[in-house]
Every structure is written in C-alpha cells, then in structure tokens.
Amino acid sequence: MTGRNRLRSLLTIAYWNGVLPMKRMPLFLLNTIASPLSFLFFIVVVSHGALLLYGVAGGIVLTMLSIGTSVQTDLSHYKSDLKLHDLVVASPVEAPIYVAGLALSEFLFAIPGISLFIVIWALSGNPISLSSALLVVLALILVWAFASALGFTLATYFEDIRETFVFSPLLSLALTVLPPIYYPASFLPSWLRPFAYLSPATYAVDLVHQAMGLTNFNGIPEPYLLPAWADILALVAFAAAFFVIAAKKARWREP
C-alpha cells in the first residue's frame, strides 16, 4: 500500500467506527462519560466540594483510559462475532493501520467527554494556561497510546467477546482503582502507595494534577508528586513497553 492509501484506510476506519456510531446513536457519548461523571458527583458530595478539581482530573484521565482499553471490546466483537478480522487479514490493509484506525476512532469518542470536564475545570475558577493545557494533552495522548496497545494485545487472544467481561474488571482494578485518580496520593495508606506506582495511570493523573495546580491540599504541599519530566518519562516507557508487547506477542493471525 502507498502512503496515501494507508492514510485513507486509517481515516476510513476511524470514521466508520467512531464518527458514524456517534451520529447514529448519540447515547454512546453518554455511556462514555457516565462513569467518570458519576465518580465526580460522588467525590464532590462526600468531600463537600473540596475534591472538585481532583474529580475533574480523575474524570479526564478515566475517560481516556476507558476509551483506550475499549479497543479490546471492539476488536473482539469484530473478530469473534462479525469475522471482520479475517477479512482485514486477507486484505491489503496492514495490521498497524487497522489497529491505529480503531484506536483513533476511540480517541474521537473521548473528545466530547474530555471537553465537558475541561469546561468544568474552567468554570471552577482555576486558570487554564497554555502550558497546563499542553501537559494535559500530552498526558492524554500517552494514556491513549498505552491503553490502545494493551487493549489490542489482549483482544487478539480472546476467542469470545464474553472473555472481555472477565478481564475488564481486572483492568479496571489495576488501572483505575488502586491509582490515586480521584484523590491526592497522600490519601493512600503507606503500605499501598508503592503498588499504585506500578500503574501507568498514576503517572498520568500525577501529571494532570500538576497541570491543574493541585500541588497542595488544604494548604499542605503534596509530598508524593513527582517532577513532570519523571511522569512523562514513565508514561513514555509504559507506552513503548506496551507497543513492544503488542508487536511481539499479539496474535494478528490465528496459529
């Protein structure tokens, strides 16, 4: 395939799996942001508003994380139910183009939800500078990258879409429950805190917290915030590792 054909294939897949579903069934968008908004509501009510911005930061990261890992559901559905995977394997479309198109379609799904949280951030009175916006965008791109690579790798091993129902809660536990997504890292018990840093989501939300100016809570500096460069380096390392795993271990063709 030529470069032009690759780009056309990528954008066609992204439109088919991203834009068309949103146009035909707008409720898909509500489903995307339902959980992050529910967590935000709960956090704000319990903390009497003190953790509003932490809830917004968590909503931003969780939305992109959920969208990225949902690649596994789409791929499993197309592979097991529609047998589209077999058609793609037999076609000139290359595996990276197919996966990148699906991942880009998921990214498009995330934009409305993330925009909503950005609006809440702006309305909270916390200023949004160009540098903070760029940090958030960088964090989200890296989250999208590693989550999509992870979702693709897992999907190639699933024989039935119901198998995703087993792994999704485990992924949710590892990526969204243990990491301090909706609260400061200092809230975690000391014995549990090291385990949180095994999840890439911890570094992503740490970077977003810094971008939003959440460097202290109730006037007390947060002692567990890493330097921004360390968060970025960790996210790049996780993304690179998941891409290597996807390239080496994913089963594009049936054995």
What CA–CA distances, in Å, run from 219 to 17, 50, 215? 46, 12, 9
CA distance 93 to 11: 12
Domain that holds residue 237: 3-249
Give domain status of residue 255, yes or no: no
pLDDT at 223: 76
Label the pairing between strands 220-221 and 216-217.
Answer: antiparallel
| End-to-end Cα separation, the chain, in angstroms | 25
Q: What is the amino acid identity at position 79?
A: K
Model's pTM, two decimal places?
Answer: 0.84
Residues 126, 100: contact at Cβ < 8 Å?
no
| Residue from 62, 76, 181, 48 nearest 117 by CA | 62
pLDDT at 204: 92
Give domain status of residue 164, yes or no: yes
Name the domain count of the chain.
1
Largest CA distance in the chain: 60
CA distance 45 to 82: 43
Give domain status of residue 86, yes or no: yes
CA distance 145 to 178: 20
Q: What is the pLDDT along the chain (255 residues), one digit of tens a residue?
A: 677 777 887 888 888 877 787 778 777 777 777 888 888 888 889 888 888 999 999 999 988 888 777 777 777 667 666 666 666 666 676 767 777 888 888 888 888 889 999 999 988 877 788 888 899 999 999 998 888 888 777 777 766 666 666 666 667 667 777 788 888 888 888 888 888 888 899 999 999 999 988 888 777 777 778 888 999 999 999 988 888 877 776 655 555
Give domain status of residue 254, yes or no: no
Structure token digits, residue 179? 């990491």
Give domain status of residue 179, yes or no: yes
Structure token digits, residue 15? 């439109």
